[in-house]
Copies of this chain bind each other. A is one copy, B any other.
Amino acid sequence: MAESEIDLAIIGSGAAGIAAGIYAARRSLKTRIFEKEALGGQTALAIWVENYPGFKKIKGEELMQQWAEHLKEFGLEAEEANGVAEIKKIAGKFELLLDSKEKVQAKAVLIATGTENKRLGIPREKELYGKGVSYCANCDGPFYKGKKVAVIGAGNSGVTNALYLNEMCKKTYLVEFLPQPNCDEIYLPQLEKSGIEALYNSELTEIKGEKRVKSLVVKDRATGKGKEIAVDGVFIYVGLSPRNELAKKLGCELDEKGFVKINGKNETSVKGVFVAGDLGSGALAQTVWAAGDGAKAALAVYDYIRKL
């Protein structure tokens, strides 16, 4: 039976949350890690990770499993499918109601809920989610074997996911708003010879289909003309949106894009509430950076609790 009076509640088990857990446990803070979904955050959704120093090329999910094993060395495990439903600050402490209905009291909270892929907000995007509209090629890609797909956004996520989908799909389109791709140069030669049909300076304005995605309307931004392309699936990678619900409930100050404002010690505007990783206003969407930020935050929490 896990303890319900703890020092630190870490919310989220992506790179920031797990790294923070390793550091907190090593400092013997009574810590629990709550995860609404599955372990590993955005990193676990990446097909391949090639830029976390020490691992030349590893599947995102596998990397995060190794981190979870590392965390276990210090007696700590992320509690999957057990998110924080409610959170309140009462008399200087935090009361959390978990999805499991358990109540937990913590001296400090570290929110590391990160981001999710941004929604475009275009017609039929919401209605066709799970019916051809996806934000995770790694999760849903295999359903599109031998079919036609489009990836929206040519940043690193968009390009690497397009390359992945293109290995199994009959046809892959890549639609980018800017006049050129915005990914690491290292992917450009691969993209060039992949056979992916890239539409730059182009905007997805509408998704069509009744029960499932049938086609996309893509506007050429130079001419203003739209054309319809037939696809079975569309994977959207147009940036990240902060998962700030819990921070908002606690009254943390946000920046104009909805990320949580923090200082150099990862402190938010609410005493005892810390933020690490991509939920913070410095969000970089890089595993190694988020991990470093989580480690830093855990050490700051340790100092905070020691001084209580």
Using a CB–CB distance below 8 Å, which chain A residues touch chain B?
15, 18-19, 22-23, 25-28, 50-56, 63, 66-67, 69-70, 73-74, 184-186, 264, 282, 284, 286, 288-293, 295-296, 299
Q: How many Å lie between the Cα of A146 and that of B41 in the bound state?
A: 49
CA distance A192 to B52 in the complex (A): 36
Q: Are B54 and A55 in contact (CB under 8 A)?
A: yes
List the B side residues contacting A286 at CB < 8 Å.
Answer: 292, 295-296, 299
Question: Can you list 14 A-B contacts (CB < 8 A)?
Answer: A15-B53, A19-B288, A25-B186, A27-B184, A27-B186, A53-B291, A54-B66, A54-B70, A284-B299, A286-B295, A288-B291, A288-B295, A289-B292, A292-B293
Interface of A is mostly: helix
Which residues of the partner chain B approach A292 to less than 8 Å between Cβ atoms? 286, 288-293
Q: When the two chains form the complex, which single residue of B51, B56, B66, B282 contacts A295, counting CB atoms closer than 8 Å?
A: B51
Nearest CB in chain B: distance from A274 CB, A: 15
Q: Which residues of B contact A25 (CB under 8 A)?
A: 186
Complex: A145 Cα to B306 Cα, angstroms: 38
Query: In the assembled complex, which residues on chain B have CB atoms less than 8 Å from the CB atom of A67?
Result: 53-54
Inter-chain contact A23/B52, CB cutoff 8 Å: no
Q: Give bound CA distance, A70 to B69, whole Å.
A: 22
CA distance A140 to B145 in the complex (A): 59
The verdict on A73 contacting B53 (CB below 8 Å), with A26-B186, A291-B292, A292-B290 known, is no
Collect the chain B residues with CB atoms within 8 Å of residue A284's CB.
295-296, 299
9 tightest A-B CB contacts, nearest first: A292-B292, A28-B185, A289-B292, A26-B184, A53-B67, A26-B186, A288-B292, A54-B66, A288-B291
Using CB atoms, name the residue of chain B closest to A57: B73
CB distance from A97 to the nearest CB of B (A): 29
Assembly CA distance A299 to B282 (angstroms): 13
Residues of B within 8 A of A28 (CB): 184-186
Cα-based distance from A15 to B289 in the complex (angstroms): 12
Chain B residues near A18 (CB, 8 Å)? 53
Q: How far is the CA of A54 from the CA of B193 in the complex (A)?
A: 34
- Give chain B nearest CB distance to A70 CB in angstroms: 5
- In the complex the two chains form, what is the Cα distance from A255 to B259 in whole Å? 29
Residues of chain B with a CB closer than 8 A to A185's CB: 26-28
Chain B's closest residue to A21 (CB) is B53
Q: Name the distance in Å between A35's Cβ and chain B's nearest Cβ.
A: 16
